[in-house]
Amino acid sequence: MPLPPRVTDLAGFDLLLSVAELGSIGRAAKAHGMSQPSASERLRTLEARVGVTLLERTHRGARLTTAGQLVAGWAAQVLARAADLDAGITSLRADRQSHLRVAASLTVAEYLLPAWLIALRSVSPDTATVLSAGNSVHVAEQVLAEKADLGFVESTDVPAGLASRVVAHDELVLVVAPAHPWARRRKVTAAKAAATPMVSREPGSGTRQAWEHALGVAGITESAVPLLEMSSTTAIKAAAIGGIGPAVLSLHTVAADVAARTLVRVEVGDVDLHRALRAVWPSGRTPRGPASDLLTIATRTLTHRADRG
């Protein structure tokens, strides 16, 4: 299901936020490196698409209407995630002149790193970061071979030769579509879950291994054959939402869907699905410079969350 075209024009919303911030269309235009008439027209077409007047234009500038404030608030959320996306992309690019090399598991890279990188940029703006994503083994290799200055893994065991610090927590969760029978019960036994065919990641994936490992610890060694195997988290989510069947995914992956009730979380009895996310580095070589900054940022985020929990 494609996104409605109404919200595809991020530049327009970005301009709207600048108007809110700077108080006039002309100044916003200058901030975006465009002429005042262009900005003016752009905002008018934005209003036309939205269908509501967003700006009150006066001879002394322009202010947001109530509806404009709402739209600006929603748009700010979109743009904040877009900034995350940009930070992530920047760290993926192969302009490998730079100094901070990070290796991370997919979960960390997807859900935590972008915000950290933005924070890092405000601490040391000139540090370019290169991100290499892979499974735990890959991360350990990179760090041990000193191809990465800092690594982030989600395994419970820290590979030999590496020192570590816990920077966040993750959890596997079982989710179903709201229409699924399990959505009402909100709890199933581990045995039942294991015996039920599900939508699943491919065998080698960290999520799948963690799930099978957790079941193994609980004494369950046989799982049903998956209903469907896919390599992309989004694809699995789409299948689960579409009602194909239950899925097991990282809490971070599905938090938004659970909050919005497009997916329902089902507790699984008697299985420990929790796992710590750790920063790792070669034993004895305490991170220095930007790597140390990034480690501090990651750790502080954790502390802060604990404050509020």
Partner DNA sequence: GAGAGGCATAGGGACAGCCTATGTCCACAT
Partner DNA sequence: ATGTGGACATAGGCTGTCCCTATGCCTCTC
Q: Where does this chain bind DNA (CB under 7 A)?
A: 9, 11, 24-27, 33-38, 40-45, 57-62
Cα torsion through 78, 175, 214, 202, rounded to 10 = -70
- Reduce the DSSP state of residue 284 to 3 states and report it: coil
Residue 93 binds a copy of itself, judged by CB under 8 A = yes
Stretch near a copy of itself under the rule CB under 8 A, chosen from 104-112, 145-153, 191-199, 275-283? 104-112
Residue number, 227 or 235, with CB nearest to a copy of itself: 235
Q: Which of 164, 262, 292, 299 binds a copy of itself (CB under 8 A)?
A: 262
In terms of CB distance, is 5 or 219 closer to DNA? Answer: 5
Q: Is 137 in the site for a copy of itself (CB under 8 A)?
A: no
33 binds a copy of itself (CB under 8 A): yes
If contact means CB under 5 to 8 A according to the sort of partner, which of DNA, a copy of itself, none does residue 35 touch? DNA
Cβ at position 209, least distance to a copy of itself in Å: 16
With CB under 5 to 8 Å by kind, the binding choice for 288 among DNA, a copy of itself, none is none
Write the Ramachandran bin of 165: left for phi over 0, alpha for psi from -120 to 50, otherwise beta.
beta
Are the C-beta atoms of residues 120 and 150 closer than 8 Å to each other?
no
Q: Near a copy of itself by CB under 8 A, which window of 79-87, 152-160, 212-220, 282-290?
A: 79-87
Which of 86, 81, 116 has its CA nearest to residue 290?
116
Instruction: Name beta bridge partners: 200.
Output: 229
Tokens representing 194 are 């294991």
> Could you tell me the two tokens for 164?
């570590």
Contact flag: residue 302 with a copy of itself (CB under 8 A) = no
User: Given the complex with DNA, which of 5 and 125 has the nearer CB atom?
Assistant: 5
Q: Is 233 exposed, middle or buried, given 0-12, 13-18 or 19+ CB atoms closer than 10 A?
A: buried
d(CA 203, CA 161): 27
Instruction: Report the 10 Å Cβ neighbour count for 264.
Output: 22
Cβ closest to DNA, residue 34 vs residue 158: 34
Nearer to a copy of itself, 168 or 220 (CB): 168
Half-sphere exposure of 10 (CA within 13 A, CB side): 9
